[in-house]
Structure 1
Amino acid sequence: DIFFNNSAKNGLLLVQLPEDHINMLFDLSEDDLLHLAIDLEKQLVTHEKLDDMPFDYDPFAKHCLINGMDQLDYMLSNMDKIDAYEAKKRNVV
């Protein structure tokens, strides 16, 4: 999904949960303000009255969000590896 991918690239965490989990959250929110905890490292959404709700998340986007980087930052942090690869490739040709 384009919106989902663009959100991750801009540092915004979007969590997709199954419909039954969403319905449980809506039910809880009818009575009171809903307080959730989202743990990206463990990929869990938690609420004191519910079981932990796991969610899937792209490993690369997760790495970037946890480390406060975007795709360019990631590439720049690996420039030594990129340079070594390119030098090796030039020597083969």
Structure 2
Amino acid sequence: MSATRKIDWTAAMHALSADRAKRPAGLLAARGLIAATSAKRRPFVVAGAYDKAAIMSAAIAAARVHQGRTGCAWGEALSVTLKATWALAKAARAAKAH
């Protein structure tokens, strides 16, 4: 008799998606920091278009704070804060559209 192996594809795909769906460390804290301090800065959306300079300056300021809190590398800190800033900018653009 030959040995057969059964694979539970549903469980395998759930495991793969769970590995990919992890949030970077400090993403929610960075989003909160940017949301709290963005009122002092320029708006992320002007006339329906993203203000990339405002987004980048907010992300850099938050990355400095994030790096100080976590001690991570600059690239990782900027990556986390850029993700958070773009999420807020997309939400602001969607809010203005409706």
Q: TM-score category by the smaller chain?
A: under 0.3
Structure with the bigger percentage of helix:
2
Give the TM-score taking structure 2 as reference length. Answer: 0.26
Give the TM-score taking structure 1 as reference length. Answer: 0.27
Structure with the bigger percentage of strand:
1
